[in-house]
Amino acid sequence: MPELKTLGLFLLTALAEILGCYLPYLWLREGKTIWLLIPGALCLALFAWLLSLHPTASGRVYAAYGGVYIFMAILWLWTVDGVRPTVWDLVGSSVALLGMAIIMFAPHGQ
């Protein structure tokens, strides 16, 4: 089940990155407390650390991670922003996830 472990790690990584960006957004755009910058910075540090846990080449991890980030951002759009994704949002995030799977799980001859 290394594929599930990889996908789970990517999902946690994306959540950390989104939170790391969303908390400063709340301060900058929504007038929330500046203290949100501290957990925001910690989330971004967690994001960087989680990306380093993958056993494959960093460039491959970064490329594949982008697909999971797109999926999580669309999920965030729906659950946090309260905006229902369009069919095109869903198609686009599905294509991105397919790209992630190809990059991460195809044989690489190494």
User: Confidence band (pLDDT; 50, 70, 90) for 110?
Assistant: low
Task: Identify the H or E element spanning 11.
Answer: helix 2-30
For the chain, the structural domain boundaries read 2-105
- Whether the per-residue pLDDT at 29 is higher than 80: the answer is yes
22 touches 14 (CB < 8 A):
no
- Whether the per-residue pLDDT at 5 is higher than 90: the answer is no
| Average predicted confidence (pLDDT) for the chain | 92
Q: What is the value of pTM for the model shown?
A: 0.87
pLDDT score at 2: 78
Distance, in Å, from the CA atom of 74 to the CA atom of 110, rounded to the nearest integer, reads 34
Write out pLDDT tens, residues 43-94. Answer: 999 999 998 898 787 888 888 899 999 999 999 999 999 999 999 999 999 9
On the CB side of 92, CA atoms within 13 Å amount to 12
Q: Measured between alpha carbons, how far is residue 78 from residues 1, 5, 14, 73, 85 in Å?
A: 29, 25, 15, 9, 6
- Whether the per-residue pLDDT at 23 is higher than 90: the answer is yes
